[in-house]
Amino acid sequence: MKKACIFLSMFTVLFLSGCTNAKYQTMDNMTWESDRFNIEATSEQLLKQYETPSDEMFNLDTKYYSSIEINNNTYFCIIELVNGYFTLYLVQPELLVNYYEYSDPNIPFFIGEFSDEKIDNEDYQYKLIIELDGSSTSVGTSDGGESHSIYYEYCVDNGIDFDNSLVLYGYESN
């Protein structure tokens, strides 16, 4: 019985020792680039964005924003890679004229789940395979309405095929 108790206590601690709740993608000194939309982000930017409270998020020094290219224009964005979820918010969604009616600071431009792979490749060290969320996730807006991601809504309303694949490649910074 005593041995059982000792084992149980060891098991309990070992089990709980993995119990911190948030898994933020912390690969340091990395630069991230995407296969579509020319998303560019650095580890430093992602960490700063993650640590900044929501109400200060849109007042950061611009060097802390990542970037995304849509219709040949580049926009600032905020990216979160937490607990297997990828979200991307536009810093100034009102600048995207075509997407204007879908804009809301609380609505992400992209939502998706990702799995990460460490790659033995001379060009890049990490590959995040992101599956962008289409119809399955609705996002609650600040005024009580519901939406999907801005990009998904835009595709549906304009008869554009929704391509849910996105890959982020991680390169070690020099």
What secondary structure does DSSP assign to 28-52, as a single string?
Answer: -SEEEEESSTT-EEEHHHHHHHHHS
Q: 81, 77, 80: which is closest to 92 by C-alpha? A: 77
Member of 34, 66, 108, 132 binding another protein (CB under 8 A): 108
- By CB under 8 A, residue 8 contacts another protein: yes
- By CB under 8 A, residue 115 contacts another protein: yes
* Distance of alpha carbon 78 from the chain centroid: 8
Return the range that interacts with another protein (CB under 8 A); candidates 60-68, 80-88, 92-100, 159-167: 80-88
In contact, 133 and 167? CB cutoff 8 Å: no
| Residue among 15 and 159 whose Cβ is closer to another protein | 15
Member of 125, 137, 162, 171 binding another protein (CB under 8 A): 137
Please provide the distance, in angstroms rounded to a whole number, between the alpha carbons at the two ends of the chain.
Answer: 56
Shortest distance, position 21 Cβ to another protein, whole Å:
4
Shortest distance, position 7 Cβ to another protein, whole Å:
10
Residue 29 backbone zone (phi > 0: left; psi -120 to 50: alpha; other: beta): left
Q: Which residues would be at the binding site for another protein (CB under 8 A)?
A: 2, 5-6, 8-10, 12-14, 16-24, 50-51, 53-55, 80, 82-85, 87, 89, 105-108, 111, 113, 115, 136-142, 146
